[in-house]
Amino acid sequence: MKRALAMVLIALLGGAGLLWLVARGSGYILINYAGYQLEMSFWTGLLTLLAALLLVRWALALVAWLLRAGGLFSWWRERRQQSASSRREQGLAALAAADWTAARRLLVAAQPDGQSDTARLLAARALAGAGEPAAAVEWLAPLLATHHRQAQLLAAELSDDDARIVALLEPLAAAKRLPAAAVVTLFDALLRRGLWQAGGELLQASQLPAEQLQPLYQRWFSGQLARLESAKQAHASWRKLPAALRDEPACVASYARRLADLDDTAEAEKLLLKSLQKQQQRSPQALHDGCLMALLTLPEAGLSKRLRALEGLHQERPEAGLGYLVARLCQQGQLWGRARDFALQSLKLQPTAACHRLLAEVYLKLDDHGQAEQHFRRGLELATAPVAG
C-alpha cells in the first residue's frame, strides 16, 4: 500500500514538474514545410514526439498480433484448413457414393506437395475411379518410394502388369501383411506368370479361411496337373492340398487320371477305390461319375482285383452307374456273361442309352442278335428323345 502511494506521489510530482517546464515557455520549435508553419514550445514538441513514438509502437504491436497466432494470419490459416477439411469430407462422401467425377474434383484440388499420406491415397482412389489409373499411380509414387503398405496395395490393384503386381505384393506376403483380397490378386498374377510353386507356397502361408482357400487350391492343382512331368511331382503337389480337398471326388478323379498317364496305375486305382468307398459310406447320393469313368482309363493289369472291389460295393448298395462301370470292366476282360448281368441290373435301376448300347454289344458277342438289335434300337430312342423341360 505504501509503495502504491509512493508511486502515485512521484507521478503527481513528475506531472507537476512537466507542467511547470511547459509553462515557462523556454524555447520553441518551428516546423516550416510547403508553405505551412507549425510552431510550438520545446516541451510541447517533446511530449508530442514521445506520444507519436508510443502510437507507432502500439500500431506495430497490433500488426504483429494480427499476423501471429490468434490474429489475422491464424484466422486465415484456420479458414483455409476448414475449407480443405470440408472438401475432404465432401470428397469422401463422393467416394462412398462412387461419384468419381466429384471425388476427383474435391480430393485432387489441392497441390500434391505437402499432401498427407491419407489425402494422397484418397486422391489416387478418386483418380482411379474416374478412369485415370496412370495419374493415380503418379500420385502414389512418393508413398511407393517409402514402401507404404496401403499405397502398394492400391497400386497393385490398379496395375495390369503381373510382374509389377508380384513385385508390389510379394514383400507384403512375406511379412504376413497381405489382406485376403490382395492374396487372391497376387495368386492370380503368379498363376498367369506360370509360377506354380510360388502360388502353392502363398496358399500354404496364407491365413485365409478354408472356404476361400479350397477353390484357390483347386485352381492351383488342376492348372498345373497337366504340367507335372513325373509321379513324384504329382505326389508332392497332392500332399500340399488340404485334407478336405483330397477327399473331393472330382479332385481325386483328375489326379488319378494324371497318375495313370504317368504310369502310376497302382496308386491311381487305390485312390479311386478308396474314394468310392468313402462316398458310399458318407453320402446317400450316387457315386461320382468322374471317379467311375477314371477306372476305365486304367490298364487291364489288376482287372480282377478291381472287379472284386467294385462288385463288393455294388452288392452293398446297387447303383446304376456302378453297375454300368462293372459291366464295362467285364467287357474289357471279355467276361460276357457277367457283363450282361451287371448291364441288366443297371438298366433296371436307370435306363440309359449308353447301357443299352453296351448290352447290345455284349449280346452280339453272345450271338444273340435279336436281343442285340432290340437294345440298339432302344438305346437310339433314348439318345434321340427330346429332353424334358
In tens, the pLDDT along 259-285 reads 999 999 999 999 999 999 999 998 888
Q: Residue 162 in contact with residue 156, Cβ under 8 Å?
A: no
Choice between 89 and 383, residue whose per-residue pLDDT is larger: 383
Residue 279 has what pLDDT? 92
198-243 pLDDT per residue, tens: 999 999 988 888 888 999 999 999 998 888 889 999 999 999 999 9
Residue 52 has what pLDDT? 80
Judge whether residue 29 has pLDDT over 70. Answer: no
60-112 pLDDT per residue, tens: 877 776 666 555 555 455 555 545 556 667 777 777 777 777 777 777 765 55
139-154 pLDDT per residue, tens: 888 888 999 999 899 9
Residue 162's pLDDT band, with cuts at 50, 70 and 90, is very high
Judge whether residue 344 has pLDDT over 90. Answer: yes
Residue 11 has what pLDDT? 65
Judge whether residue 4 has pLDDT over 80. Answer: no
Q: Which CATH superfamily is domain 310-389 in?
A: Tetratricopeptide repeat domain (1.25.40.10)
Residue 67 has what pLDDT? 64
Distance CA 181, CA 187 (A): 10
Residue 98 has what pLDDT? 76
Residue 348 has what pLDDT? 93
What burial class does residue 117 get, using C-beta atoms within 10 Å of its C-beta: 0-12 exposed, 13-18 middle, 19+ buried?
Answer: middle
Judge whether residue 115 has pLDDT over 80. Answer: no
290-313 pLDDT per residue, tens: 999 999 888 888 888 889 999 999
Judge whether residue 353 has pLDDT over 70. Answer: yes
121-141 pLDDT per residue, tens: 888 888 888 888 888 888 888
Residue 310 has what pLDDT? 92
Residue 363's pLDDT band, with cuts at 50, 70 and 90, is very high
Residue 123 has what pLDDT? 83
Residue 140 has what pLDDT? 87
Judge whether residue 351 has pLDDT over 60. Answer: yes
Choice between 166 and 91, residue whose per-residue pLDDT is larger: 166
Q: Residue 270 in contact with residue 308, Cβ under 8 Å?
A: no
Judge whether residue 24 has pLDDT over 80. Answer: no
Residue 27 has what pLDDT? 63
Residue 268 has what pLDDT? 93
Residue 30 has what pLDDT? 66
Q: Cα Rg for the chain, rounded, in angstroms? A: 46
Where along the chain do its domains lie? 84-170, 239-299, 310-389
Percent of the chain with pLDDT over 70: 83
Q: Residue 197 in contact with residue 168, Cβ under 8 Å?
A: no
Q: What is the mean pLDDT of the chain?
A: 83
- Residue 357: other Cβ atoms inside 10 A: 18
Percent of the chain with pLDDT over 90: 42
